[in-house]
Amino acid sequence: MDDIPKNNTQYISNPNSNPSITSGLFENLLSVEPIFNNKELLRHSFTPDTLPHRDSQIQTLASILVAALRGDTPSNILIYGKTGTGKTASVNFVTRELEQTSTHYDIPCDVKFINCEVVDTKYRILAELANTFIEKNTEYILKQISKLEASLTNSPSTFPTNDQHLQLEEISKLKGDLNSFAKVPMTGWPTDTVYSTLVKAVDYRERVVVIILDEIDKLVEKSGDDILYNLSRMNSDLDRSCVSIKGISNDLTFTDHLDPRVKSSLGEEEIIFPPYDAHQLNDILQNRATIAFKEGVLGPGVIRMCSGFAAREHGDARRALDLLRTAGELAERSGDSEVTTDYVEAAQEKIELDRVIEVIRTLPDQSKFVLFTILVLTAKDVSHITTGEVYNLYRQLCKNQELDVLTHRRVTDLISELDMLGIVNAIVVSKGRYGRTKQITLSVPQAHVEKELLSNQRNQRLFTGLEDISIIFQSQF
């Protein structure tokens, strides 16, 4: 260890030290014949030109939004369905058509999409909306000024006419309007001021605004329903424009926690997206795979297996697409010219592992400590790990780290949550007259759990001192 140079730049100071390795690294990889035509078609962020098995939902959504093209306010809509049922893709598809069609009519339609898992506070949503329409207004004003100035330049008159005086006045007014719009900072303004700025920006010109709040239940869970109340009642503060709200949620019960006034105004219409079945998923994958892959690279049964795996998980089209894309990537990395069902099975394992690792990364601290305790017992080859043994070591680790110690019952609940998340496997067993307990094993490879937990510096310090902690095996049932 002492021979390792402390200055890491010494490792890269001579990039040409072995040109036979470095110069051909990417050339060798690029020489492998790709099996994809366009991999992006297999990402769930891609919105295709056709959405199989969602005609009914698309028609319903379009029949509500067509009011915007007549200059009327479309009804607010709440859209429900589990993950991967085509909610967001369908809404994006319809609103894209709406914006394109509106260019042929007098009243423009502006659509703003907000992911409430990312933009998740009242202030940030209002600021995001205000700045979006300030940018649209700026673009509109600059175009109008450019047209007017071009008209003046092309005028043959030597002296200004009445029309030209009016054009000059209009240019001056537009420049004043341009200077009146100040972008909202991401923090620092009173919320009422941000809302007033949004109203002013939206109402600058006549238009219909469609606001899409994806993962709306996450917003309510974190920030309450005040922002929904403001947005759903915003039309009363507008003179020229009108606003329609579309909320997308995975949780059919989230409206139970809304203020009745918000619930009534927000949920004027509801659209349910049912899960896809295996046959529908097969059609979706076939539709994309035809273009995404080169001809003849998909082996027998590949699409059917991807559809079957995804159908087990409440008909998740995203999962089906991820499986097919990952299977193709694994085959390509292996230099194989055909995607077989073996690659689909490998992709299933990889995606599941990636999901669990992400869950571990976002666990609360106490859940991480309970999992860390199970990891330590597993590493020390303790057979038949029980709840009592986990709790005893958990208490020792908490005291060592000066962390609050939860009750035995609460730790048992955390173990059940880890079991539900698929990180551990907890089986209830009978101990005769001693009652029942849980025997616990890791459901994820030990090395992956250890790597993810030790990415946290505090856990690294805890792990370093483990050899000094004697584990007390005293069963507590």
d(CA 417, CA 440): 12
The DSSP secondary structure of 239-299, one letter per residue, reads SS-EEEEEEEES-TTGGGGS-HHHHHHHTSEEEEEPPP-HHHHHHHHHHHHHHHBPTT-BP
Angle at 274 between CA 273 and CA 277, to 5 degrees: 135
Number of C-alpha atoms within 13 angstroms, CB side, residue 90? 28
**Long-range own/partner contacts, residues 434-438 (CB < 8 A, 24 or more apart):** 434/475, 434/477, 435/477, 436/477, 437/386, 437/387, 437/388, 437/475, 437/477, 438/386, 438/387, 438/412
**Predicted local confidence at residue 15, as pLDDT:** 46
Sheet harboring 436-442: ordered strands across? 385-386, 436-442, 424-430
Q: How far apart are CA 225 and CA 122, in angstroms?
A: 9
Selection from 283, 331, 341, 292 nearest residue 311 by Cα = 283
For residue 446, what are its two tokens? Answer: 């030990």
441 and 424 Cβ atoms separated by less than 8 Å: yes
The reported pLDDT for the residue numbered 6 is 41
Picking from 45, 80, 40, the residue whose alpha carbon sits closest to that of residue 60 is 80
* Of 380, 374, 379, residue with least CA distance to 392: 374
- Parts of the chain with a pLDDT under 70: 1-24, 29, 155-160, 431-435, 456-477
- Residue 392 belongs to what H/E stretch? helix 387-401
Chain-wide mean pLDDT for the chain?
Answer: 84
Name the strand (E) or helix (H) holding 343.
helix 341-361
Specify the amino acid at residue 160. P
What are the pLDDT digits (tens) for 230-273?
Answer: 998 899 999 999 999 999 998 888 888 888 888 888 878 999 99
d(CA 40, CA 44) in angstroms, rounded, equals 9
What pLDDT does residue 461 have?
61
- Over residues 3-12, the pLDDT tens digits come to 434 444 333 4
Q: How far apart are CA 223 and CA 138, in angstroms?
A: 31
Q: What's the pTM value of the predicted model, to 2 decimals? A: 0.72
**Cα–Cα distance measured from residue 231 to residue 209, given in angstroms and rounded to the nearest whole number:** 11
Residues, the chain, total?
477
What is the Cα–Cα distance from 166 to 172, expressed in whole angstroms? 10
Select from 237, 172, 173 the least CA-distant residue to 202: 237
